[in-house]
Structure 1
Amino acid sequence: MKYAIVDIETTGGYASSHGITEIAIFVHDGEKILERFETLVNPGMEIPYYIQVMTGITNEMVSDAPKFGEVAELVFDKLKDKVFVAHNVNFDYSFLKHHFLETGHEFFAKKLCTVRLTRKVFPNLASYSLGNICRSLQIQIENRHRAGGDAAATVKLFELLLNNNAQPHIEQFLKKTSREQSLPIHLPREQVEQLPGKPGVYYFRDQKGKIIYVGKAKNLRHRVSSHFTHNGSGRQRQEFLRNVYQINFQVCGSELMAAVLEDNEIKKHWPKYNTSQKRLEFQYGLYRFEDRRGYIRLAIERKRKHLQPVYTFGMLWEGYRLLWNMIEKHQLSPELCFVEKNAKTVLPQITVEEPIEYNRKVATALEVFEKELPSFAIMDQGRDEGERSCLLIEKGKFFGMGYIPTDIQIMDLDTLKEFLTPYSDNDYIRGLIYRHAENYPQLRVPLS
């Protein structure tokens, strides 16, 4: 088996927007170096000053160097049919794969990360950065932060690992079923392997233990593993992978409970990488107020901080649909409900009574509306055979969820609520539960 031990220098941290400035490849057969290749590369862009200071590679040095497309064929041949070895392998691999693709080369190789391999062979080091490992293991490193110097140090580290019985770990890492090489560099494999194949919510945490991503899963182990099945070249993807240090999880009784808990946890922790799920709920509300003439008026408006709405909606059209139903059913005045200017159809001609009579109709409409709001529970399987999961809708609003022992028969709403944890109600969660009740009517238990 041959290994290509690689190090690259770049203009930044992610491949899709940054270039390569230097490449070094040492071909190794597991016993000795067979070949060494090293070249500067013109990245086709300015090298940031701080990177020039760190690496010593200046814009002048690369101005006459070949562009990646000019050396791509040669580099491809050096790497072909070899195990791709690097310190934090996914970084170097993602850059080369991206730039190969831009030059028309489809590059795939088995990967071996010396960070993860060193953790197996020397598990108690304080740090696993290349510089700190070399200091801890007394490996001499020269020309630091240049591709040739760092690659040469990685070769010495690789040889030291081989001399300390690393071969069984290498064989395990290179198996097709192994997730080791695809995992974020700082994430222990054991944390992924301990995940159960059950529904639940998982939390990715950074080095300080702060939650940076929350997700839901029908199968926790499969879903978490799917995050790491490819190494995207974008900035956010690479930054995300570098920041994942640990995983925690909560098992849920059902996929629905996991979805509800995920939404609640995202709003509670506001994780950095949950950008698409940071929903702003309850944009609109149905409000009731009395005007100067004494008429009770209904209005759909954006939610107001210090006013309590009769009901809330995520979408404006939902509110107007409800209000129109009330107008038609109870002969309310469209004008007094502020819908005249929003109507796209001919308005009904309704004679408006004196305030006392009209207000009785409004009160009746609101009373009927509140009575028609359903109360029901979704009863499903629990986390084990000794319990059932329960999500409660009370008068049209989400109350909370929890678990009930299977040997307890719930007969009334108040007793049921004693087993549940209250959660914040919002339009998104309501929608999840109502759709679930429609799709699985056998799980819906009406309550009064």
Structure 2
Amino acid sequence: MYAIIDIETTGGKYNEEGITEIAIYKFDGHEVIDQFISLVNPEKDIQPFVVKLTGINNKMLRNAPKFYEVAKRIVEITEGCIIVAHNASFDYRILQIEFKRLGFDYKRQNLCTVELSKKLLPEQEKYSLGKLVRALGIPMSDRHRASGDAMATVKLFKLLLTKDLDKKIVTQTIKAEIKRKLPQKFLDILDTLPTKTGVYYIHKTDGTIIYIGKSKNIKKRINQHFTGKNRKSKSIQREVAAVTYEETGSELIALLKESQEIKHNNPKYNRSQKHKHFQFALYQRKKDNGYNSLYIGKLDARKKALTSFVSINEAKNFLFKITEQFHLCQYINGLSLEQKPCFLYETKGCKGACCGKETSKDYNKRVNNFITNYSYKNSNKIIIDRGRNHDERSAILIENGEYKGYGFYNLNYQVTNIDILKDIIVPMEDNRDTQHIIQSHLRRKKVKKIIDL
């Protein structure tokens, strides 16, 4: 028995996506015998590019059931079934994330029709769902909606089953989760580790640090290193003798500390982070008509960047997001080059700067509002976030636009003065990486509060 699934999500950071729509067709190898289709309220905003792709927006999901309300039905309809999906690793991962948020493990055998198609249809040029079904003459409707994509996958899978007469290839392609038994040395190390947020250090026998990382659950992350099958994980498994850690409570402090510790210790298995470059940045310029435009460009030390990004996709997603959030204009920000008036004006998100309906003075006020909210250049701030226990808070000090360090204080202690805070902070280096980490974290995640001094 098979449960053929397609899931639409909010998009966003890996492992933090939320489900917006799910479709499941229970298939016995010949016909669909049961089905479940539903929009889902992800309790978070959908990325603008996903709205464009799927047509699903935040307003549509306002009254949709939340995942916990549909979880029981998902368990029932997939019980005893092999999960089938086009790019199954994505849909299966998203389901597991949602169930983990509810405190449950969700485990099923799974089968990917991309992988199966490559084995049974080697003559095909492309294996994306849309191009594959088109090439095979399979009818498809509601592309990029869960029900349409899932039904197209049903038809594709039915065709693939006819190609595999003795079912050997299908059987070989099915994947199951197999628990690996850990050596006693690894179990002993895991017993010493907390399930809290912080920075961890992996040492070899002579005490040399070979890897530094951060995690919201240190024990879980180290367990992933100990069970991983990639080259880096296997090298760590051969050399590890001990793991030490420092709790930070705040994920932002963990990110900042991890960055500085990697630079100072130069661990050999942190190569990817040592060579991580922020290649793109967000800049501001005044157009001929007086409107301040926000645009993405290659990072240039000679220009004053508002914030920086690792990838062009991260940069574009952010620009789409803040353009909508601050009622800016897609045309002025270069996101709608040929459309005037822009898409947001038609949906009443833009106030008409693209077609002369709003003055540059009024428009630029909102641009400046965005810059004030998202940039800490030349400002004095204290970023307050969670501490290492319930009675504690963490504080990050920004002075004259520079990151000075972090500290921890008791909840009964009021920290609103830079001179007082300087007595408790651990001094840290301010550089391009720390600026990116702080700005990137603040635009993606909430902290307890930010105090302007």
TM over 0.5: same fold? no
TM-score using structure 1 length: 0.41
TM-score using structure 2 length: 0.41
